[in-house]
Amino acid sequence: MDSAEDSSRRQEIQVSLKSIVESSDKWLGRLRRRESRVRLASSFLTTILVFAAVGSAVLGFVLSQGQLDALFQNANLARSVAGVVLLAGLISGFATYFLLKRKHEAKLKELSSLITEMKKANGVGGEGITKDALSLAEKIVTLLPQLVRKRDQDSLLFGVVAFIVAAIVGRNPAVAILVGAMVWLYFRYETTRTYEQEASKFEEQKRAFEQRKKDFIATL
């Protein structure tokens, strides 16, 4: 094989490696934003649910003891009970946020590390193409689709949160249901559109890389 053809193949694999790094970097940013929204929505929902559950339990206990009038008549007791209920909800919400953050960061840590190593590898931005660069690219194109997979439950979560907020603010169940449904449909549409467009692009990059890698290795 002449040097011109060899150089052409090297340039093609370089282009594929650079394309994979750029696409993966963009996906990492999208995934981090998605997980951040999920954490906020989940912590808010947990706070409301725990607040409602603890409040209902306390109210049920007070009613069973026949102390409802005493609760209303004793302002300090009422504030203490309300404080306990509110604190339980807030603690649960914060705990949910940080537990999910740890989970999400652990899940994306490997991809972030691979991208960082890929950027430093000689095969990206350098003259040569190293085995490390090819190996890292292979790991990225295998791992990324597992992380990017479409999650319809996220849009449902956002819809439920929107419904609760609208119900609290507007105090109109019909309007709250409409707002929740609109938010759910919007995020479902955006998630599907982004996933289909970007995932198909990455699949094309993956196929091109695998073919060019095969051709390149055959010349070694």
The alpha carbon of 134 is separated from its chain's Cα centroid by a whole number of angstroms, namely 27
Q: Token digits for 163?
A: 């419904």
State residue 124's pLDDT score. 45
Rounded to the nearest 10°, the torsion over CA 12, 14, 15, 19 is: 140
66: alpha, beta or left? (left if phi > 0; alpha if psi -120 to 50): left
Q: How many CB atoms lie within 10 A of CB 126?
A: 12
**Rounded Cα gap, residues 161 and 166, in angstroms:** 9
Contact 24, 119 (CB under 8 A): no
Q: How many CB atoms lie within 10 A of CB 214?
A: 9
- What is the residue whose two structure tokens read 């190593």? 117
The whole-angstrom separation of Cα 209 and Cα 215 is 10
Task: Answer for the pair 107, 144: CB distance below 8 angstroms, yes or no.
Answer: no
Name the packing angle between helices 75-120 and 131-148 (round to 10°): 150
Q: What is the pLDDT along the chain (220 residues), one digit of tens a residue?
A: 455 566 676 777 777 788 888 888 888 888 898 899 999 999 999 999 998 888 888 777 666 666 666 666 666 666 777 788 888 889 999 999 999 999 888 888 988 988 888 877 754 444 455 567 778 888 888 888 778 776 778 889 999 999 999 998 988 989 999 999 999 999 888 888 777 777 777 777 777 777 777 766 666 5
Q: Which long-range contacts (CB under 8 A, 24 or more apart) does 112-121 make?
A: 112/28, 114/24, 114/139, 114/140, 114/143, 115/21, 115/24, 115/25, 115/28, 115/140, 118/17, 118/20, 118/21, 118/24, 119/21
